[in-house]
Amino acid sequence: MAQSVKGMRDLFGAELRWFQHIEETARRVFGRHGYGEIRTPILEELDVFKRSVGESSDIVNKEMYQFTDKGGRDVVMRPENTAGVVRAAIQHKLLNANDPVLFYYIGQQFRYERMQAGRYRQFWQIGAESFGVASPESEAESLLLLHSFLTELGLKSLVFSINSVGTPESRPAFHAAFRAFFAQRADRFCEDCHRRIESNPLRVLDCKNEQCQAALEGHPVITDHLDEASAKHHARLKSLLTELDIPFVENPRLVRGLDYYTRTAFEVLSSDLGAQSALLGGGRYDGLFKQLGGPEVPGFGWAIGLDRLAMVLQQVRGDAPFTPPALLIPLGERAATEALKLARTLWDTGVTLQLETRGGALKKAMASANRLGIQTVLILGDGELDSGMITVKHMATGEQESWPLGEVAERLADRG
């Protein structure tokens, strides 16, 4: 029997309904804030991610789906979407007016990584990107957008974990202090961390190895080595989050898994996830445009995995908001013809309706209605056609009544 590729999966039923509800909520909330949608290709040139995400990152070193296409080009299936959105903004000259540019995206990403609860090798992300403004106020607006989005979905146990990773100009002092700390206990760190300490010491803080995390106890804190402008920026953001009543904690080990972050890096934690508490993350990436061959443009953004978010919402809220369609059951050939005509009229007026087309016994159709959770069943036979009425059965109560055929659309619309 054919099977899906490991780490890739099919979506349907209740889980897909959560995906759809999340996407609808995202478009509504993002639209209120003035963000417009952008859609980028799944395939990108390898260089887009080597230059942006960073060759020292685990994504580039271990997780990318990378291959050479028939034209001899080195391409990857995008492992994240920020770099692709920045590439699109540069390529299509979307920043020439020097006005802020606000984008959101919904799409699939691919990483060959170890799977765990809510994580897959093909996964869906929703992200929001803000280009052209470097102020902490722009970050606060983006985080408020995110908080509103998650709150509207019904999540309440949320805390923003934040850190400042400074700027490339201010990091050498931290790197020197951290390398000296690392050298004193180098035998306690894994082989990957020994590679990271040479290429990008910040990556050591991001290591998931429990032994390495224990060895980091008492490490130099990057916020103690910030330049004055970065320190003021960080303090202002914390002040704004306090004014907006957005709960946050400072986490000096938070650096995220991408090399392009500058100044603010953050994650959102949810106690509903148990041990794997990070729900999403993001941060500022003021150097990313220049790394990809564009002008110097500041940027800030974040992304959340739909797979993981849908899992959390199912745990917290159960089934996604969903109104099953009504079911129209014709009895006999004459009724089947009239049912098609009636269904067409109802569909054209926006009514959600499922039409029984198998023919056969009423009992079989009613059994299907029960299995599908359908609450309203319309029965149309010769007697109903002759009387100009339709039999309506309310499955939750078992009550039955008759409606005039001319009122079916209005009554079903009132049902919601």
Tell me the torsion sign for CA atoms 51, 56, 59, 61: positive
The predicted structure's pLDDT at residue 122: 94
The pLDDT confidence band at residue 243, using thresholds 50, 70 and 90, is very high
Neighbours of 246 (CB within 10 A): 17
227 vs 119, residue with greater confidence: 227
Percent with pLDDT over 90 in the chain: 66
Are 341 and 353 spatial neighbours (Cβ–Cβ below 8 Å)? no
Domain map of the chain by residue range? Answer: 13-170+226-317, 326-415
3-state DSSP percent of the chain in helix, strand and coil, to 5: 45, 20, 35
Q: Does domain 13-170+226-317 have CATH number 3.30.930.10?
A: yes
The predicted structure's pLDDT at residue 55: 60
Mean pLDDT (whole number) for 185-192: 92
How would DSSP label each residue in 196-229? Answer: HHHH-THHHHT---HHHHHHTTTPPPGGGG--HH
The predicted structure's pLDDT at residue 98: 78
Range in 120-124, 152-156, 263-267 the model is least confident about: 152-156
The predicted structure's pLDDT at residue 372: 86
Residue 289: closest CA among 80, 87, 79: 87
Those residues whose C-beta lies under 8 Å from the C-beta of residue 350, and which sit 6 or more positions away, are 413
- 383: which 2 tokens? 């007697």
pLDDT of 284 strictly over 80 = yes
Angle at 54 between CA 176 and CA 206, to 5 degrees: 60
Amino acid found at 280:
L
Q: State the pTM of this model.
A: 0.85
Those residues whose C-beta lies under 8 Å from the C-beta of residue 9, and which sit 6 or more positions away, are 120, 122
The predicted structure's pLDDT at residue 187: 92
The pLDDT confidence band at residue 168, using thresholds 50, 70 and 90, is confident
The pLDDT confidence band at residue 145, using thresholds 50, 70 and 90, is very high
First-to-final CA distance of the chain: 41
The CATH fold assigned to 326-415 is: Rossmann fold (3.40.50)
User: What mean pLDDT is reported for the chain?
Assistant: 90
The predicted structure's pLDDT at residue 116: 76
